[in-house]
Amino acid sequence: MFVGTGKYASYELMQQAIDVSGAECITVAVRRERLFDASGRRLLDFIDAGRYTILPNTAGCFNADEAVRVARLGREILSQMGNAGANWVKLECLGDVRTLLPDPIETLRATEILVRDGFEVLVYTTDDPLVAVRLKNCGAVAVMPAGSPIGSGQGILNPNAMRICLEYLKEADAGYPVIVDAGVGGASDVSFAMELGLDGVLLNTAIACANDPIKMAEAMKKACEAGRLSYEAGRIPKKRYASASSPIQDF
């Protein structure tokens, strides 16, 4: 499970929620984070760079040129910190401000540039399987289809499309990471995502904007673990009619 750092009421609350979540990798929006707040404090002072891999993201970018510039800024900052995620970037190249869904053309172009530039690109995309495959073929190390629009809390709206993304992306490489990004609202959404066979979830708003972010962070952690165990165990098939738990033969 990846968690974000935005929208919290305070840095202290963010720090506690991330700790409870059990996440090892956290995202930071390079463009949207102020270097220092009104009190002279900064976000990075509340993140243990020795404990977490920091994944810079290009949130707020609306074309490939902006996204590439922000990715390079993130790499420069993390290189100076010596963080393991210095060459990682979560690429977001958005289409408009209403849906915050990705622009597929600009996202593909940015992926190509960043891969050539030596980045390990984890790319936010729609749940279109063909676009997902194109991004993988461009060199993205992970594809991150949206479950629903960012911050909407609607969960995975099109499970069938997500299943096809998984099938196509893992066809030649079963270990290729597919991570649902955006739209998660509650623990049941996380569990459902993992039961579909996704390798992970990335979420922020669902924790940061919950009535009790600390409890929600713990719920998300447990849901992620439960969903993965359920997927590995293999659920029973759905049937139209009942099937008795106790055999009725030789009653």
Instruction: Confirm whether 246 is domain-assigned.
Output: no
The rounded radius of gyration (Å) of the Cα atoms in the chain is 19
pLDDT in tens, 174-218: 999 999 999 999 999 999 999 999 999 999 999 999 999 999 999
Instruction: Confirm whether 166 is domain-assigned.
Output: yes
Mean pLDDT in residue range 93-100: 93
Report the CATH number at residue 90. Answer: 3.20.20.70
What one-character-per-residue DSSP string does the chain give? -EEE--S-S-HHHHHHHHHHHT-SEEEEETTTS-SS-TTS--GGGGS-TTTSEEEEE-TT--SHHHHHHHHHHHHHHHHHHT-TTTTEEEE--BS-TTT--B-HHHHHHHHHHHHHTT-EEEEEE-S-HHHHHHHHHHT-SEEEE-SSSTT-----S-HHHHHHHHHHHTSS-TT--BEEES---SHHHHHHHHHTT-SEEEESHHHHTSSSHHHHHHHHHHHHHHHHHHHHH-PPPP-SS---SS--TT-
pLDDT at residue 112 in the model? 98
pLDDT at residue 36 in the model? 58
pLDDT at residue 130 in the model? 97
Q: Count CB atoms within 10 A of the CB of residue 149.
A: 15
Instruction: Confirm whether 247 is domain-assigned.
Output: no
Task: Give the residue carrying structure tokens 């099937």.
Answer: 243
Distances (CA, A) of 215 to 19, 55, 86: 12, 24, 31
pLDDT in tens, 26-80: 999 887 655 556 677 788 888 888 899 999 999 999 999 999 999 999 898 888 7
pTM: 0.89
pLDDT at residue 38 in the model? 65
Residues forming a β-bridge with 143: 123, 178
What is the total count of domains within the chain?
1
Instruction: Confirm whether 250 is domain-assigned.
Output: no
Position 93 pLDDT exceeds 60: yes
Instruction: Confirm whether 223 is domain-assigned.
Output: yes
pLDDT in tens, 12-26: 999 999 999 999 999
Instruction: Confirm whether 241 is domain-assigned.
Output: no
Instruction: Confirm whether 218 is domain-assigned.
Output: yes
Task: Give the residue carrying structure tokens 């404990």.
Answer: 51
Domain housing 148: 2-233
pLDDT in tens, 116-165: 999 999 999 999 999 999 999 999 999 999 999 999 999 999 999 999 99
Q: Which two tokens stand for residue 48?
A: 């243990």
In this predicted model, which residue has the larger pLDDT, 101 or 80?
Answer: 101
Instruction: Answer yes or no: 90 catalytic.
Output: yes
pLDDT at residue 148 in the model? 94
In this predicted model, which residue has the larger pLDDT, 247 or 238?
Answer: 238
Catalytic residue among 90, 136, 238, 239: 90
Beta carbons of 99 and 66 less than 8 angstroms apart? no
Instruction: Confirm whether 248 is domain-assigned.
Output: no
